Structure 1
Amino acid sequence: MEFVNSPDAPRPVGPYSHAVMAGDFVFVSGQIPLDKEGRVPESFEERVKRAIENVRAILRACGLDLRNVVKVTVYLRDISRFEEFNEVYARYFTHKPARAVVEVSNLPKNADVEIEVIAYAKS
């Protein structure tokens, strides 16, 4: 196993690694829409983009990209934003990995979206 932290993603907000590489799989910890300076974008669309870009940066640190993602779990504080979320998500995940979207009552740092992924390292 290898524990990975990307210099291109915001520091974890707790005692965990950005990702764990285990065999052919990479497990990326949930990413909220913080930039490296701890700022949160204004619009929901930009917050979704930031969370996905954080995932992308972590995957890059593992030698992978979004095309390697096989499973996505999304946590939304307001499920009524599901369609709005999908519009942004579909631009990034054109290969349509398996996915679950769950409404939650709260997220770290009072975020309204968090995204975690599992990627497969073989082509």
Structure 2
Amino acid sequence: MKRFIGEPLPVPLTPAVQCGSMLFLSGQVPTRPDGSIPEGIAAQTELVLQKLGALAKEAGYDYGDIVKTTVFLRDMKDFDAVNDVYRKFFPKDPPARSCVRAEVAIAADVEIEAIAMKDQ
């Protein structure tokens, strides 16, 4: 059984879908409610991870339930700065992760998607 999480969006995707004990979180980008994007990769990464956490929490999960992330970076030179912020959210036993260079769909420098799972 699937459960759809998050507010409807103007694009054809669901912010998160829960299937059994697994939660699939669509890629989050660093847009504020007013549509603006913070300056700098650290601020953008912080906002993206906060948004992922809020979406996970809405479904009854937390950062400790995240088992896999994929980080999309516009420029790989930002890798170390992203890691510095990422460590704050996953200080111990971080999830499996991939990181790829990609053009993000908006004028942002980072997008992160995640998979979370609850122990049954």
TM-score (norm 2): 0.92
* Shift in alpha-carbon separation, 1:13–1:67, aligned structure 2, 3 A: farther
Cross-structure match for 1:17? 14
Q: Please give the per-residue CA displacement for 1:87-110, whole angstroms capped at 9, x wherever unaligned.
A: 010110122110000011x11112
Cross-structure match for 2:69? 72
* Shift in alpha-carbon separation, 1:100–1:27, aligned structure 2, 3 A: same
Cross-structure match for 2:32? 35
2:107 equivalent among 93, 110, 114: 110
Q: How far is the alpha carbon of 1:13 from its aligned partner? A: 5.5
Q: Please give the per-residue CA displacement for 1:67-115, whole angstroms capped at 9, x wherever unaligned.
A: 10000100001001111110010110122110000011x1111221000
**Count of paired positions:** 118
Matching of residue 45 in structure 1 with residue 46 in structure 2: no
Partner amino acid, structure 1, of 2:57: R
* Shift in alpha-carbon separation, 1:13–1:76, aligned structure 2, 3 A: farther
TM-score (norm 1): 0.90
Residue ranges of structure 1 left out of the alignment (5+ in a row): none
Q: What CA distance in whole angstroms lies between the structure 1 residues aligned with 2:70 and 2:36?
A: 23
Q: How far is the alpha carbon of 1:63 from its aligned partner? A: 0.7
Q: What CA distance in whole angstroms lies between the structure 1 residues aligned with 2:82 and 2:62?
A: 20
Partner amino acid, structure 2, of 1:3: F
Matching of residue 99 in structure 1 with residue 97 in structure 2: yes
Q: What CA distance in whole angstroms lies between the structure 1 residues aligned with 2:77 and 2:54?
A: 28
Higher mean displacement: 112-121 or 12-21:
12-21
